[in-house]
Amino acid sequence: MNKRFNFASVTAISLVTLALSSFTTTVFAKSANFTEQQIKQVEHIKEEALKSDLAWDIVESLTTEVGPRMPGTPGDEAGVAWAVAKFNAMGFDKVWTEPATFPKWIRYSESASVVSPSPQKLHITALGGSISTPKDGVEAEVIEFETLADLENAPEDAAKGKIVFINYRMDRHRDGNGYGPAVKARSGGAVAAAKKGAVGYVMRSVSTAHHRFAHTGGSHYKEGVTKIVSSAISNADADQLQRLIALGKPVTININVQAKSMGEGTSYNVIGEITGQEFPEEYVLIGGHLDSWDLGTGALDDGAGVAITMAAAKFATAQEKPKRSVRVVLFAAEEFGLWGAKAYAKAHESELSNIVAAAESDFGADKIWGIESNVDDNSLPVIKEIAQMLESLNVEYIETNAAGGGPDLVPLRPFKVPSFRLAQDGTDYFNYHHTADDTLDKIDPVKLRQNAAVYAVFTYMAANSKTKISGKK
């Protein structure tokens, strides 16, 4: 009788315990890669990160105390000093810089106007790398093309003596896939226009916005092709220009850009590491790019990525030293062409196989909705466990296993580094991207916490999993 009674109460107690634990933690009975203690730790990290404003404090500090950080400017230099000091203040075990060189370019001024038939101002910005116009600008009739391909397919002298206007409108998508088709006209438009005899180039901004800010971004010239001014107007101004042209009379505009290429510049990747206990040479690489364009304060692009990953590294290692190292890399001169990332790949070429997981946050600060890997098949069970632990943060598992990673991971691709996309909602990202309007107020502190929590869980699990994650063979 006694025995039976005791048995019953034990059962009752364990049922209650089980019921309680299923409310507070993910049930994880059959984990092959993590101990029960580690799973509890993941839950703890999640809770702490969702309560913390650490990432907000970091991005606020960067965008306020430093501001714009265009490569080669005093702001960029200040950003590097800021990052070194911040890593040290946050207690990272090792903090260091690595140089990266890039072609330096400075913007002085930019303006544009319709000269005839109805004089009015246009809101314009020079694209990165653009040459200057003469002091009084370049003035000519505008010829409109719908796409870069239309311009390239036009007769040889189609734009002779004119200013080419490419009026391609970017599509809005959650995953930002409207950017690829739109950005072609930014990188290659000036060359294509010059080949058809144009004296200037202006495009509809790579933008999903309704405001009147123009979006800058990198553009290129080509050896042997005449360099002409390369610029972009806001969506609203592009609409206006389109309507004026549609009236059927010749439309003349003036573009005045004063800018300068200044030879080779040097900046620095800033790296902070929390050293692993068991396999210190192996590491999780997370990060963003420290530089920004000059027009805004680079809050969404990419102060947010800097803040999310710095904070995540701290959350992931707050209670105990990780098994493998956690390295936060803040890349230099991304906006001018991934120069810091290229330098990193080169400097670390012989030991890139030590990277067990790499992810860059460079798509703003809206919520992370998915996780996608690019790893060896043998590593997929670990990825599934990570994805399972992210479910409660509303992150879904994208099973394609073909993640590209962020832009600064592109130079690591040939080395088959295991890469991840922690996919953010980019629906609104291109409203602000590369404009004067990319400022701190565009970041939602609650969504920023979710980002830091997702990165922290990912980082902890990749650094501590029993199986080492490896890249595709």
Q: Which window, 8-16, 179-187, 300-308, 365-373, contacts Zn ion (CB under 5 A)?
A: 300-308
**Within 10 Å of residue 101's Cβ, how many Cβ atoms?**
17
Q: Which two tokens stand for residue 272?
A: 């902070």
Q: Which of 252, 325, 338 is nearest to 286 (CA)?
A: 325
> Within 13 Å of residue 8, how many CA atoms lie on the same side as its CB?
5
- Residues 373-396 as b/e (b if ≥16 CB within 10 A, e otherwise) read bbbeeebeebbebbbbbbeebebe
Q: How far is the CB of 438 from Zn ion (least distance, A)?
A: 9
Closer to Zn ion by Cβ: residue 299 or 357 = 299
Catalytic entry in 282, 334, 335, 372: 334
110 near Zn ion, rule: CB under 5 A? no
As measured in angstroms, the least distance from the Cβ of 356 to Zn ion is 24
Q: Which of 294, 360, 362, 408 binds Zn ion (CB under 5 A)?
A: 362
Under rule CB under 5 A, residue 408 binds Zn ion: no
Amino acid identity, position 163:
I
CB nearer to Zn ion: give 174 or 472: 174
Total binding residues for Zn ion by CB under 5 A?
3
At residue 28, the 3 state secondary structure works out as coil
Within 116-155, the residues that bind Zn ion by CB under 5 A are none
User: According to CB under 5 A, which one of 144, 302, 360, 408 is a site residue for Zn ion?
Assistant: 302
Least distance in angstroms from the C-beta of 448 to Zn ion: 16
| Position among 282, 301, 385, 437 found at the interface with Zn ion (CB under 5 A) | 301
Q: Where are the beta strands (DSSP E) in 347-395?
A: 355-360, 368-374
Q: What is the DSSP letter of 109?
A: E
Q: Work out how close the CB of 100 gets to Zn ion at its nearest, in angstroms, rounded to a whole number.
A: 15
Nearest CA to 62 out of 277, 292, 249 is that of 292
Is 334 one of the annotated active-site residues of the chain?
A: yes
Stretch in the footprint of Zn ion (CB under 5 A) among 72-80, 258-266, 319-327, 355-363: 355-363
Kindly write down the DSSP assignment for every residue of 237-276, as one continuous string. Answer: HHHHHHHHHHTSS--EEEEEEEEEEEEEEEEEEEEEEE--
x/- letters, 313..352, toward Zn ion (CB under 5 A): ----------------------------------------
Of 75-83, 94-102, 177-185, 358-366, the segment contacting Zn ion by CB under 5 A is 358-366
Distance separating alpha carbons of residues 144 and 158, to the nearest angstrom: 11
Of 403, 429, 426, 407, the residue nearest 416 (C-alpha): 403
**Shortest distance (Å) from residue 301 CB to Zn ion:** 4
Q: How far is the CB of 325 from Zn ion (least distance, A)?
A: 25
| CA contacts within 13 A on the Cβ side of 201 | 31
299 vs 461 by CB, closer to Zn ion: 299
Which residues contact residue 315 at a Cβ distance below 8 angstroms, ignoring those fewer than 6 apart? 45, 48, 49, 52, 54, 452, 453, 456, 460
> Which among 366, 467, 465 is positioned nearest to 425, based on CA atoms?
366
Q: What is the DSSP letter of 469?
A: P
The residue among 139 and 362 lying less far from Zn ion, judged by its C-beta, is 362
Q: How far is the CB of 142 from Zn ion (least distance, A)?
A: 28
Show contacts with Zn ion in window 223-242 (CB under 5 A). Answer: none
Residue (294 or 385) nearer to Zn ion, CB: 294
E strands, 314-392, are 324-331, 355-360, 368-374
The stretch among 160-168, 264-272, 362-370, 381-389 that binds Zn ion (CB under 5 A) is: 362-370
Torsion angle of C-alpha atoms 25, 26, 30, 36, degrees rounded to 10: -30
Bridge partners for 329 per DSSP: 271, 287
Number of Cβ within a 10 Å radius of residue 235? 24
Region from 12-20, 134-142, 361-369, 436-444 binding Zn ion, contact rule CB under 5 A? 361-369
CB of 116 to Zn ion, least distance (A): 36
Task: Using the minimum distance from each CB to Zn ion, give the nearer residue, 82 or 432.
Answer: 432
Tally Cβ neighbours within 10 Å of residue 103.
17
Stretch that binds Zn ion, among 166-174, 178-186, 298-306, 424-432 (CB under 5 A): 298-306
- Kindly tell me which of 362 and 385 has the beta carbon lying closer to Zn ion: 362
- Output 302 or 372, the one with its CB closest to Zn ion: 302
Residue 421: strand pairing partners: 372
Which residues are marked as active site? 334
Residues that bind Zn ion (CB under 5 A): 301-302, 362
